[in-house]
Amino acid sequence: MAESIPSYPIVEVTLTEDGSAHMNVAGSHIDFPAGDPAATRRAIIERATAIAVQLHRPVRMNATDPLGTWHNAVTPNGDVIDLEAQGATSRQPIVRSSKTTPAPVLEAPTRITPSSVVRTIDALPPQAPATAPQAVRCTVVFSTGEEAIVDQPLIVGRSPKPQAHEVAEALPLHDVSMTLSKRHARLEPTHSGISVTDLGSANGTWVVTADGRTLPLTPGVPHRAVPGDRIELGTIVVGTVGVAA
């Protein structure tokens, strides 16, 4: 199966003993605060699953935790597959992630992303629950006249409509140039700004940073935009990211 999964994009994950983690997908960075490692693992797999759903195929994920580095794939239905264990008979290579219960703690190290770190955490003294950082509530003001507070996932475009698997609101943009796709991009709130994902638009999506860098988005791969950045949709429509009052 490994040979059939494209090498780009790759989800790179680092999980530490306090349960905090960092995810990097094609230059888009997401930080997870310290806490329950099993909860962090579920959040990471959900993010990777969302990318796999957008790409309509499995996506590679390299995960590093205190026990080593594991090379996996995450499928659109949430399965985590150990690519290095393909063909092995001494262990189960596929583990289905759960959104409601922690991943099982296995007796022997298994190349399955970060659930194995739970064994290390069990040996540590109890710590006070970490306080998650306050989220930044962002607005996006579009050159077409619309303005939105991104406090929930939004699908933007000429005539957007969330698909059956999506939990999002639709935000139609008045585009007389007709350069927007019907479903052009997805905007989601994050702790430091918003996440922008091109939905396979015909004319592309870019994030232009406050210091002038223009970053073209790969369809299906989320990218972070922070206050001061611009989001360019197609050839005409521009959204300016700001902080909500």
Residue 125 CA to residue 107 CA, distance in Å, equals 21
**Is residue 185 domain-shared with residue 93, that is, in the same domain?**
no
Edge-to-edge strands, sheet with 147-150: 147-150, 138-142, 237-243, 230-233, 205-208, 214-216
**Is residue 142 domain-shared with residue 229, that is, in the same domain?**
yes
Q: How many Å separate Cα 19 from the centre of its chain?
A: 18
**Contact in structure between 171 and 160 (CB atoms under 8 Å):** yes
Q: Residue 7 corresponds to which tokens in the numbers above?
A: 């090498």
45: in domain: yes
Instruction: Give the largest Cα separation in the chain, rounded.
Output: 61
**Is residue 152 domain-shared with residue 216, that is, in the same domain?**
yes
Q: Among 72, 91, 122, identify where a domain stops.
A: 122
- Per the structure, the complete domain to which residue 8 belongs is given by 2-122
The number of distinct structural domains making up the chain is 2
**Is residue 223 domain-shared with residue 112, that is, in the same domain?**
no
**Is residue 142 domain-shared with residue 108, that is, in the same domain?**
no
Beta bridge partners of 238: 232
**Is residue 25 domain-shared with residue 108, that is, in the same domain?**
yes
**Is residue 22 domain-shared with residue 96, that is, in the same domain?**
yes
pLDDT reported for residue 240: 96
Taking CA 43 as the corner, what is the angle to CA 232 and CA 108, rounded to the nearest 5 degrees?
Answer: 140
pLDDT reported for residue 97: 35
Task: Give the N- to C-terminal CA distance of the chain in Å, as an integer.
Answer: 49
Q: Among 122, 156, 172, identify where a domain stops.
A: 122
152: in domain: yes
**Is residue 9 domain-shared with residue 60, that is, in the same domain?**
yes
Q: Among 64, 98, 122, identify where a domain stops.
A: 122
**Is residue 116 domain-shared with residue 142, that is, in the same domain?**
no
127: in domain: no
**Is residue 17 domain-shared with residue 99, that is, in the same domain?**
yes
Residue 182 CA to residue 158 CA, distance in Å, equals 4
* Residue type for position 240: T
219: in domain: yes
128: in domain: no
**Is residue 12 domain-shared with residue 61, that is, in the same domain?**
yes
Q: What is the 3-state secondary structure (H, E, C) of the chain?
A: CHHHCCCCCEEEEEECCCCCEEEEECCEEEEECCCCHHHHHHHHHHHHHHHHHHHCCCEEEEEEECCEEEEEEECCCCEEEEHHHCCCCCCCCEEECCCCCCCCCCCCCCCCCCHHHHHHHHCCCCCCCCCCCCCCCEEEEECCCCEEEECCCEEEECCCCCCCCCCCEEEECCCCCCCCCCCCEEEEECCCCEEEEECCCCCCEEEECCCCCEEECCCCCCEEECCCCEEEECCCEEEEEEECC
Q: Model-level pTM?
A: 0.49
168: in domain: yes
**Is residue 117 domain-shared with residue 176, that is, in the same domain?**
no
Residue 205 CA to residue 218 CA, distance in Å, equals 8
pLDDT reported for residue 34: 82
Residue 147 CA to residue 174 CA, distance in Å, equals 12
pLDDT tens digits in sequence order for the chain, 245 residues long: 566 788 778 888 888 888 888 888 877 788 888 888 888 888 888 888 888 888 888 888 888 887 778 888 888 888 888 887 554 333 333 233 333 333 333 333 333 333 333 333 344 445 455 554 556 789 999 999 999 999 999 999 999 998 888 889 999 999 888 899 999 999 999 888 999 999 999 999 999 999 899 999 988 888 999 999 999 999 889 999 999 87
- CATH code (residue 221): 2.60.200.20
